[in-house]
């Protein structure tokens, strides 16, 4: 919920710059194997990837909006906190294997046997890290949730959170390997299976189980996605439990994440601390519910641009000065049309949108307005970060991510204490605006290298 794939501070759901990585890997792969799929295959792959991304996010939005409309507002706030707890632990369970799996599968694409050996080892090590993370979560649930100070995070929620954590981690790892193989059609069908599973299960599970039912629905979505990929590649993946672990390969897979892994963990910790601070306020769960609804409206506003931009930005690595500037200006113009105008409409129709949830969210009009205003700097910050990654300036992007995290951590404590959810959204607005301005000044400089390198996640 809070922190859906892609984490609310850096989304992406968290926000991973996986689109740019896909395109960068595709370019190098096409050079190595002679454009096996012919002219335009890069663009087709980008379109498949975009469709997969949109459908995957639609699943999380469906769960949140349905839960917000059906559950009592205070109970929905507890669900938001439970989801944030899952996404706090998720980066530790995944251990950067989404990025390493994608990169290594793409690197060995010429050798089909070796590539599938890597994929099997990737899933084996993910199983190991997932088991460790689930056991630690189950044993330390009381201490983890004690930070938020909410007794509602009971034993039942502990076990459904463990289930969701396991399915989310394994599904993400399996799909990342398919990304490296450029099996985008498989990923699209897997995302559709997840969406169908969510749509079928969520009314019944929430009606019968409330918060726990919502987490079960999310687990069904992740499980359906993973099962589709595994069934499609069953000839290879049936070796998972027969193949001997290659610990040297495990070490290599776990070492690739680097700064990406650290930033993803930092994003999860920042998000969880912010929501925990909100939960400890007098109207904690009500504030959490309002924040989650307004944040998801903001995610809808930023979704089209952040999902579509990587296809255009992938050309930056081979673009010269004037063409490079033209691409960036067109992306900025697209952001103005696709993000700014809808944000204005959301602000104007805020009362109507909040009334759709029918549970007293009408007192969140100011919060929704702030979230809508913050969508534009959020998008620009993400797009400019993509530019740095396409330029091969990964370390600079990492530095800006750290700076943004510092702004959020320093600013959110006093502002949340004084203003609750409005304080956190205000902190995000200031942080992303400052980061976008600073990033814009940096991308004016042409890159010293056109090597796309290994990108980082947000």
Q: What is the pLDDT of residue 307?
A: 67
Residues 260, 10: Cα–Cα separation, whole Å:
12
Write down how long the chain is: 458
The set of residues, in sequence order, having a beta carbon less than 8 Å from that of 310 and lying 6+ positions away, is 17, 19, 20, 22, 23, 46, 49, 386
Asked whether 63 and 202 are in contact (CB, 8 A), the reply is yes
User: What integer pLDDT is reported at residue 174 of this predicted model?
Assistant: 84
**What's residue 43's pLDDT?**
56
What phi-psi label fits residue 149: left (phi over 0), alpha (psi between -120 and 50 degrees) or beta?
Answer: left
Please give the pLDDT value at position 110: 67
Low-confidence residues in the chain, pLDDT < 50:
1-40, 449-458
Task: Identify the pLDDT of residue 24.
Answer: 46
pTM summary value:
0.75
Query: What is the per-residue pLDDT for 335?
Result: 78
Closest of 231, 226, 222 to residue 201, by C-alpha? 222
Do residues 98 and 172 touch, judged by C-beta distance below 8 A? Answer: yes
Can you give the residue ranges of every domain in the chain?
18-443
């Amino acid at each position: 919920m809070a922190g859906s794939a892609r984490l609310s501070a850096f989304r992406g759901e968290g926000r991973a710059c996986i689109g740019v990585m896909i395109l960068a890997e595709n370019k190098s792969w096409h050079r190595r194997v002679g454009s096996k799929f012919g002219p335009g295959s890069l663009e087709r792959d980008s379109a498949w990837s975009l469709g997969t991304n949109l459908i995957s996010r639609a699943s999380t939005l469906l769960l949140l909006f349905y839960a917000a409309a059906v559950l009592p507002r205070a109970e929905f706030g507890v669900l938001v906190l439970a989801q944030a707890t899952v996404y706090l632990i998720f980066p530790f369970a995944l251990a950067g294997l989404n990025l390493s799996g994608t990169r290594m599968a793409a690197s060995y694409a010429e050798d089909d046997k070796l590539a599938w050996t890597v994929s099997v080892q990737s899933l084996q090590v993910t199983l190991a890290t997932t088991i460790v993370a689930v056991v630690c979560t189950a044993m330390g649930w009381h201490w983890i949730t004690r930070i938020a100070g909410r007794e509602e995070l009971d034993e039942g929620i502990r076990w459904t959170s463990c289930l969701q954590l396991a399915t989310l981690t394994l599904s993400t790892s399996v799909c990342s390997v398919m990304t490296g193989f450029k099996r985008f059609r498989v990923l699209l069908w897997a995302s559709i299976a997840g969406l169908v599973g969510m749509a079928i299960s969520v009314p019944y599970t929430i009606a019968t189980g409330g918060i726990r039912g919502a987490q079960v629905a999310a687990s069904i979505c992740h499980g359906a996605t993973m099962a589709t990929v595994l069934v499609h590649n069953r000839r290879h993946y049936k070796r998972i439990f027969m193949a001997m672990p290659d610990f040297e390969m495990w070490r290599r897979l776990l070492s690739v994440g680097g700064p990406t892994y650290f930033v993803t963990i930092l994003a999860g910790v920042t998000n969880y601390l912010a929501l925990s601070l909100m939960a400890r306020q007098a109207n904690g769960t009500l504030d959490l519910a309002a924040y989650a609804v307004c944040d998801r409206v903001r995610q809808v506003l930023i979704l089209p641009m952040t999902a579509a931009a990587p296809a255009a930005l992938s050309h930056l690595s081979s673009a010269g000065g004037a063409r490079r500037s033209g691409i960036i200006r067109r992306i900025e113009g697209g952001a103005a049309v696709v993000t700014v105008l809808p944000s204005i409409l959301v602000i104007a129709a805020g009362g109507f949108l909040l009334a759709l949830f029918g549970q007293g969210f009408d007192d969140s009009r100011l919060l929704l307005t702030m979230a809508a205003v913050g969508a534009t700097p959020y998008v620009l910050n993400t797009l400019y970060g993509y530019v740095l990654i396409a330029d091969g300036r990964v370390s600079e992007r990492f530095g800006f991510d750290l700076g943004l995290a510092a702004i959020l951590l320093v600013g959110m404590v006093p502002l949340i204490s004084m203003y609750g959810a409005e304080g956190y959204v205000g902190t995000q607005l200031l942080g992303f605006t400052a980061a976008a301005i600073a990033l814009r000044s940096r991308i004016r400089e042409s890159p010293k290298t056109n090597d796309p390198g290994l990108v980082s996640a947000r």
